[in-house]
Amino acid sequence: MTLMAWKYRKRLLVVLLVVVVSACSSTKFVPEGNYLLNKVDINVDNKAVSKEDLKKQVRQTENLKILGFFKFHLGLYNLSSKKKDNDWFKRIGEAPVIYQDYQTDRSLQHLKVYLQNKGYYDAAVSDTVIYHSRKRKAHLIFDIRTGDPYIVRNYDYEIEDWKLEPTILADTAEQVVKSGDIFDVDQLNSERARLATLLKNKGYYGFSTDHIQYVADTALNNKQVDLTIQISDADLEDTKESVQHLRKFVVRNYKYNTVFTPLKAFGDPEDAPTDTIFEPPYTFIYHKKLKYKPELLENVNRLKDSTYYSLLNVERTFRSLNQLQQFKLVNMSFDPVPELGNDSVGVLDANIQLNSLPRQGFTVEVEGTNSSGNLGVAGNLSYQHLNLFRGAELLNITLKSAYERQEAFISNSALNFNTRELGLEASITLPKFLSPFNAKRFFNYQVPQTVFSAGYNYQRRPDYTRTITTMRAGYVWKSKAFRTNYLNVFDWNLVDMTEFNEDFINSIEDLYIKSSFTSHLIMAINYALVDNTQNTEKDYTYHYFRWTAESAGNILSGLVHLTGRSKYEEVDETTGETTSYYRVFGNRYAQYLKTDLEFRFGYRPDKANSFVSRAFLGVALPYGNFDLMPFEKKYFGGGANGIRAWQVRTLGPGTYKAASDEYPNQSADIKLEGNLEYRFRLIGFIEGAFFLDAGNIWAINSKDNREGAQFKFNQFYKQIAIGTGTGLRFDFNYFVFRFDLGVKMRDPSLPAGKRFIFGNYPLSGDQLNFNFAIGYPF
pLDDT in tens, 216-243: 887 667 888 999 999 876 665 544 444 6
Residue 19 burial (C-beta neighbours within 10 Å; 0-12, 13-18, 19+): exposed
Question: What does the alpha-carbon distance between residue 322 and residue 330 come to, in Å, rounded to a whole number?
Answer: 7
> Which residue did the predictor score with more confidence, 524 or 659?
524
Q: 3-state DSSP call for residue 569?
A: strand
> Which residue did the predictor score with more confidence, 481 or 613?
613
Mean pLDDT of the 581-597 span: 92
CA 580 to chain centre: 45
Mean pLDDT of the 259-280 span: 72
In this predicted structure, the answer to whether residue 267 has a pLDDT above a threshold of 50 is no
Mean pLDDT of the chain: 86
Q: What is the pLDDT of residue 241?
A: 46
Question: What does the alpha-carbon distance between residue 636 and residue 604 come to, in Å, rounded to a whole number?
Answer: 30
Contacts of 37 (CB under 8 A, 6+ apart): 60, 61, 62, 63, 97, 98, 99, 137, 138, 140
Contact in structure between 192 and 119 (CB atoms under 8 Å): no
Question: What does the alpha-carbon distance between residue 760 and residue 554 come to, in Å, rounded to a whole number?
Answer: 50
Contact in structure between 776 and 729 (CB atoms under 8 Å): yes
Question: What does the alpha-carbon distance between residue 46 and residue 26 come to, in Å, rounded to a whole number?
Answer: 35
Q: How many other CB atoms sit within 10 Å of the CB of residue 7? A: 15
* Band of residue 684 on the pLDDT scale cut at 50, 70, 90: confident
Amino acid in position 240: K
Contacts of 157 (CB under 8 A, 6+ apart): 165, 168, 169, 228, 229, 231
Question: What does the alpha-carbon distance between residue 143 and residue 148 come to, in Å, rounded to a whole number?
Answer: 16
Structure confidence by residue, pLDDT tens digits, 9-51: 455 455 445 435 544 578 888 898 899 999 999 999 999 998 9
CA 685 to chain centre: 21
In this predicted structure, the answer to whether residue 358 has a pLDDT above a threshold of 50 is yes
In this predicted structure, the answer to whether residue 383 has a pLDDT above a threshold of 50 is yes
In this predicted structure, the answer to whether residue 414 has a pLDDT above a threshold of 70 is no
Q: Which of 518-522, 581-585, 658-662 has the lowest mean pLDDT?
A: 658-662
Closest by CA to 234, choosing from 222, 245, 221, 247, is 245
Q: What are phi and psi of 182, to 5 degrees?
A: -65, 140
Closest by CA to 745, choosing from 679, 666, 689, 692, is 692
Question: What does the alpha-carbon distance between residue 217 and residue 618 come to, in Å, rounded to a whole number?
Answer: 57
Amino acid in position 296: L
In terms of average pLDDT, the best of 384-388, 441-445, 604-608, 623-627 is: 384-388
DSSP codes, 267-324: --S-PPP-EEEEETTEEEEESSS-SS-HHHHHHT--GGGSSS--HHHHHHHHHHHHHT
* Band of residue 565 on the pLDDT scale cut at 50, 70, 90: confident
